Structure 1
Amino acid sequence: MKRDYAVQRGTLDGVEAFVRVAERRSFRGAAADLGVTPSAVSQAVRALEARVGIALFTRTTRSVGLTEAGERFLERALPAFQEILAASNAARELGAKPSGLLRIAVPRAAVPLVLQPLLASFSAAYPDIAVEIAASEKLVDLAKEGFDAGIRMGELIANDMVAIRLTPPFRFIVVGSPAYFTRRGRPRTPAELAAHSCIRLRRSNGALATWRLKEGSEMVDLSVSGSLIVHDFPTMLEAALSGAALAQVPEPVAAEHLSSGRLEEALARHAPLTSGLFLYFPDRKQVLPKLRAFIEHARSFTQDRQTEASETAKPAKTPKAGARRVRSRD
């Protein structure tokens, strides 16, 4: 049987006035506390008594006292009123300074790429914020599932979300181990993938993802085949490292292994470019200080990393003719 939990309109009206009068035993004192006139307090209390159906105060020209009904009402109403005040103060604190629990939904592959490097510095800068990371390939509804923000590739973010870039655009590349290429050969065209073992990714909706590649100026989606199906890119990468099959993964995920030679790229000129990773959230007007602090910290951290990367990529300057080299001293 369905129950009606709706609070009748006006049920709470006058409760604060009643509590103040009961504490002060004075309508004038309660009015001073509330910043209103004694007449306004008296009217609020009379309206409350009318709804309850019984007098809550005994009034004389010299004093104010509680009736038995008023005592019972105060006994039950005061703790509830104090809880409402405490709830208001707790909510107000979240709006006043960066604090509380910050919940972020991210794909597993984004954790080492984006979050791990900045979480330590963020936690040190904002010790009153607890960060909860929910790593999943599922495309979550932030508002419905209680998340403050999410991290996804730009192509997967709904148009009604606010998105802030965290990484530059990157490619989706096909990789395999040297042992795999020695054993099975290296595909030269997307069509040749039909003769190879490819690791497939099952999406959160149950469908198997296709491999998207470039063919000239167009994009093609290929239904590859292989005996291994995974649910995330880190697992796919580990399988490729073992030599089991080829994988198509975000380039930053495989960058370290490509540099070390544990993985090699195939079909490089067919690799599509994605928009990169973004932090996204529902509405700028709803951003609490805890999320605003994370946004600004992530922005600053990302800019610093990009600056460092560009500085590292610059070629070393050679001394001009006639210039002296200065030997550093230990």
Structure 2
Amino acid sequence: MKAFKDIEIFTRTAELGSLSRAARSLGLTPAAASAALKRVEEDVDALLMIRSTRSLRLTQQGALYLRYCQQALKLMTEGRDAAHAIHAAARGTLRVSVSSDFGRNLLAPWLDDFQALHPDIQIRLNLSDQVSNVVKEEVDLAIRYGVPPDSTQIAIPLAANNRRILCASPEFIARAGQPATPYDLVNFNCLCFMVGERVHEQWQFTHAQKDDEVLVAVSGNCSSNDGDMVRRWAISGKGIACKSELDVAGDIRAGRLVRVCPDWQGELAPLYLVVADRRQLSPLVRVMKTFLQQKCEQLTQGSTPGETIRGC
């Protein structure tokens, strides 16, 4: 970066008041430093310094330009240090807990990309649909849908506007038809997710253009505590599922699933990166956070919010 170096030479010369001292401090010959000053003056098309064998002083233009150069050097140095810190931080082991569906179908291939970018990072992945206790368990971070029930935990949004959507396979729709509104779901086989022994069979929806809100009691012949199993049943044509848009975006693009009642949106299902304590937001965790936010944005072709931390 010759231009950066030339600006550094100009700034150091002005600060030391001597071309020879500036050259020595930067490990250069006076001739090389003089050539650099000449390039800077040619670049701005102005005389910046009046030099003689015994004295040196800035012109009015030189004094003005010096202030900008000092600011530029400060920013460049901070940027270089930040980039170095990220590079230095991108090594070590990350212990990640994630739900089975998101982990298998989205995070696993994303982690391949992540480790291609950061080969010095080792990943320990824990797949579970049970909500991880990031305080007691030996994990560095958890990736979960919904705001953590413990308000003392640190939750960083990865996809704050993600919602649940209705979906089914083309084969199921060809065989059974599809509901015109969520009210009609009572006439269809619905695939439900279980939390413990409780079946999530109360599905809530909001119309995309209206203020209408609907709460429907659904039923079906298949339910599971494994979100990926519900997705697989939907793809195989067993019924209608209400899934996170992130979880089924790839299936919808590939034609394995189609949106049902597309004018209606399910409940919000924001995706968060969760840590137990702010001190766990290490550079390594922040590298992962930024990467996942970008992946979520690419998947939904929407906007991902900046980092807003709850619980700090």
Say whether the 8 Å CA contact 2:167–2:234 is kept in structure 1. yes
The letter for the 1-side match of 2:95 is R
Q: What one-letter code is carried by the residue in structure 1 that aligns with 2:109?
A: Q
Q: Which residue of 1 aligns with 2:118?
A: 125
| From 201, 205, 229, the counterpart of 2:223 | 229
Q: What is the identity percentage for the equivalent residue pairs of Structure 1 and Structure 2?
A: 24
Task: Pick closer, same or farther for the CA change 1:312–1:264 going to 2, 3 Å.
Answer: closer
Q: Which residue of 1 aligns with 2:283?
A: 293
Q: CA RMSD in A?
A: 3.2
Which whole-Å CA distance do the structure 2 matches of 1:165 and 1:189 have between them? Answer: 31
Paired residues in the alignment total 212
Q: Deviations over 1:79-118 (max 9, x none)?
A: xxxxxxxxxxxxxxxxx97776532211112223345314
When residues 99 and 117 of structure 1 are mapped into structure 2, their CA distance, relative to the original with a 3 A threshold, is: closer
Cα shift at 1:241? 1.2
Q: In structure 1, the residue corresponding to 2:167 is in which secondary structure?
A: strand
Verify the 8 A CA contact 1:114 1:166 in the aligned structure 2: no
Residue 243 of structure 2 corresponds to which residue in structure 1? 249
Q: Which letter does structure 1 place at the counterpart of 2:198?
A: A
Q: Distance in 1 between matches of 2:91 and 2:117?
A: 13
SS in 2 for 1:298: helix
User: For residues 116 and 166 of structure 1, do their structure 2 counterparts lie closer, same or farther at Cα, with a shift above 3 Å needed?
Assistant: farther
Instruction: Report the equivalent of 1:186.
Output: 178
Higher RCO, 1 vs 2 (CA within 8 Å, ≥6 residues apart): 2
- Give the corresponding residue for 1:209: 200
Structure 2 residue 95 is the aligned partner of structure 1 residue 103: yes
2:161 aligned residue? 169
Instruction: Give, in whole Å, the separation in 1 of the partners of 2:300 and 2:215.
Output: 34
2:178 matches 1:196: no
Q: TM-score, normalised by structure 2?
A: 0.58
Contact residue 157 and residue 280 of structure 1 kept, 8 A: no
The counterpart of 1:265, out of the listed 259, 268, 273, is 259
1:151 and 1:279 in contact (8 A); partners too: yes
Q: How many angstroms does 1:207 deviate by?
A: 0.6
Greater share of strand residues, 1 or 2?
2
Structure-2 residue corresponding to 1:281: 275
Confirm whether residue 116 of structure 1 aligns to residue 105 of structure 2: no
Q: Is the 8 A contact 2:159 2:293 kept in 1?
A: no
User: Displacement of 1:213 after TM fit?
Assistant: 1.7
Distance 1:192 1:250 in 2: 20
Looking at structure 2, the residues matched to 122 and 165 of structure 1 have their Cα atoms a distance apart, in angstroms, of 22
What SS class does the counterpart of residue 132 from structure 1 fall into?
strand
Q: SS at 1:268's partner residue?
A: coil
Contact 1:236–1:247 (8 Å) recurs in 2? yes
Question: Which consecutive unaligned segments of at least 5 residues does structure 2 have?
Answer: 1-87, 304-312
